[in-house]
Structure 1
Amino acid sequence: MRILHTSDLHLREDRPETIRALKELLRIASERGADLMTIGGDIFHSKEDAEVLRPKLREIFSGDGPEVLAIPGNHDADAYREDLNWGSKITVATEEPFSTFEYEGFAIIALPFKDELTTSLYDRLQSVSDKHSKSALLLHCTLDIGYSSEDFGEEESVSYFPVTRETLREWGFDYVLAGHFHRNQSILKLGEEIKFIYPGSPVSHSWSELGKRKAVLVDVESGEEEGLSLDTFYRDECEKVVRPGEEEELVEEIGVWVDERVGDDCEIRVIPRGHVRLDEKEFTKMLEEACEGAELTHEFYRSVKPVLNHPLFRRFKESLDSRDDIDDKEAVEEMALDAMSRLLANRELRS
């Protein structure tokens, strides 16, 4: 039994890249021999998107490829009704409080989205997990591992269905196939046997979701998981610190980073920070040539040629270089360059 797990597609009528991501997931699932694809909530960004896109999805979810088992998330909890046809290959589990599906002796307990965990639900999940020798819980939740609100995408600062590691250990499912966390893939061991999986969003929805997107392939028999890179839309950024005299090396590094992403379906930006010896116009021209096709942020670098030539800075630099008790001399030098450039600009330090 092999499962491709994903979540948080947030399909939207005005974002065709989300539909392309769904097709890519189904392609990868077939290519890697997955028997089932699970979606841990938020297939749609809204119930309105679900209504508009449903006819298109019937074809996508009725073709070749694996069966799909999905649950509602907080964004699309109101999108599903029994009389709607989503396609022959997909089952959206909406039965309360949860549904149990059997696949070759492996049970998946599908829990539709809820705001919170009640005592009654806790007891029922504990009871159902005891009935199966091998099982997984499919849910949309916030795990207590210190993620910030931006890790969950463009969400409100609400902990939807907060659940602790200890609770998941007590339930005893072999796998927890989760959704709601957008930023990166996260696979955690909860004790000796239990594995918790956030696949991350399969397409970048915001600038908090950087880098190539992934899904997770779970082999139930071997107990192994594999993160699979997806050929889907993503965002990425390159933030580099430049120091005086190292401008060419930095621009070369940035150019390589940009070139590596040429041809990808992506949106990228470059954020250079620090101080340069060159004239700002000259350095900016070098950056723009290296960053063709990328968004370039200009606000975090400045020329400090007057500071470098100032006798006070030269004395400071000689003293700094002679010290052996300072661990990060570059950081200290950066602070001095910044402070002196401000003083010179405000005419509080003589040239």
Structure 2
Amino acid sequence: APERMDALRRVCHLSRELGCAALLIAGDLFDTPQAAVALRAEVRELFDSIGQEVYLIPGNHDAAAFKSGEYYGRNVHICSDMPVMWEVEGVPLLGIPYLPGRQGVELLRSHVQGEGAPCIVIMHTNFYNSSLSALYFSEDDDDSASACLWEGDLADLPQTYIALGHWHNPTLPPIKVNNVRVAYSGTPYPTSKGENGARHAFLIDVSSEGFDVQGIKIPGVPRRETASFFFVPGEEDKIMEEIESFLEQSADDEVILDLEVAGWVGSISEGACAA
């Protein structure tokens, strides 16, 4: 969709304006391999125009788009089906492509070891922390299931920031697990119901002491919000008036509004519903 391409363009320009050393994309740059074919030339032109290094990994939606070595720009670095260790201004950067089950965790733990410089990792996976981890734990080594990472996987790792893709809402502030910080930046454009609030790009500042991570609002991208109303018999007209008043007062070109209505009605006019 044009609005999503515009959001990517705004992220790229924001990265350049902030003077970032690199732009990291944690998977699902495209919705489908077909979208990758249709948009590749436009995306390549965009990446070339910003003059920055771009590091990206495949997600579950677009893994097939990177398996044949397609060219996405002279400054674009991709790990297709195997992890790749890069370096950005002296900072180790590990890219791990989307892999089902626990395969990505094994690669993470085998590549991030020791007491060296702080490391950044790009992964595309589900992350479950605290008590939620137990709900998704399985004794079976099921490598066909959805990719997952648990809090316990990170407990003994050295200083690491894990930039996650897959979940569409941002994690602010990042979750801390001993020496590790982990966060989703979310999608740059709200694509589905429930993706509420401002869209962010994450600015990662690395020093010998660790990481400082800030969520920077992406300018010009609408936020999504949800408004809920509940009907009870006998109050239908009153609730309809409240909805109408709310919509009039909340009209905003910068907001995508999802209206949720529940409850019971005794009777309500067709005209009121149409309004």
1:105 aligns with 2:95: no
Q: 1:144 aligns with which of 113, 128, 148?
A: 128
1:263 aligns with 2:253: yes
**Quick check: 1:129–1:173 contact (8 Å CA) kept in 2?**
no
**Quick check: 2:189–2:199 contact (8 Å CA) kept in 1?**
yes
The CA distance in 1 between the partners of 2:96 and 2:87, in whole Å, is 15
The CA distance in 1 between the partners of 2:167 and 2:81, in whole Å, is 23
Deviates most, 205-214 or 109-118 = 205-214
Distance 1:114 1:283, change over 3 A: same
Aligned counterparts, 1:221-232, within 5 A = 221=207, 223-230=211-218, 231-232=220-221
TM superposition shift of 1:83: 4.3
Match of 2:48 in 1: 62
Secondary structure of the corresponding residue to residue 211 of structure 1: coil
- TM-score with structure 2 setting the length: 0.78
Q: Which amino acid aligns with 1:112?
A: P
Match of 2:118 in 1: 134
Unaligned runs of 5+ in 1: 1-14, 148-157, 289-351
Aligned counterparts, 1:100-249, within 5 A = 100-118=85-103, 122=106, 125-130=109-114, 132-145=116-129, 146=132, 160-221=146-207, 223-230=211-218, 231-241=220-230
The CA distance in 1 between the partners of 2:126 and 2:160, in whole Å, is 19
Structure 1 moving runs of 4+ over 6 Å: none
The CA distance in 2 between the partners of 1:47 and 1:19, in whole Å, is 16
Bigger Rg, structure 1 or 2: 1
**Quick check: 2:96–2:108 contact (8 Å CA) kept in 1?**
no
The CA distance in 1 between the partners of 2:108 and 2:206, in whole Å, is 24
- TM-score with structure 1 setting the length: 0.63
**Quick check: 2:156–2:178 contact (8 Å CA) kept in 1?**
no
**Quick check: 2:151–2:177 contact (8 Å CA) kept in 1?**
no
Unaligned runs of 5+ in 2: 134-143
The CA distance in 1 between the partners of 2:221 and 2:63, in whole Å, is 25
**Quick check: 2:123–2:164 contact (8 Å CA) kept in 1?**
yes
Match of 2:141 in 1: none
The CA distance in 1 between the partners of 2:54 and 2:121, in whole Å, is 15
Distance 1:190 1:211, change over 3 A: closer
The CA distance in 1 between the partners of 2:203 and 2:148, in whole Å, is 25
Distance 1:253 1:233, change over 3 A: closer
Of Structure 1 and Structure 2, the greater strand share is in: 2
Match of 1:28 in 2: 14
Q: Which amino acid aligns with 2:54?
A: V
The CA distance in 1 between the partners of 2:238 and 2:67, in whole Å, is 61
The CA distance in 1 between the partners of 2:145 and 2:256, in whole Å, is 29
Secondary structure of the corresponding residue to residue 69 of structure 1: strand
TM superposition shift of 1:233: 5.0
Q: Percent identical across equivalent pairs? A: 22
**Quick check: 2:79–2:95 contact (8 Å CA) kept in 1?**
yes
1:71 aligns with 2:57: yes
Task: Count residues with an aligned counterpart.
Answer: 256
TM superposition shift of 1:111: 0.6
The CA distance in 1 between the partners of 2:53 and 2:87, in whole Å, is 13
The CA distance in 2 between the partners of 1:69 and 1:201, in whole Å, is 17
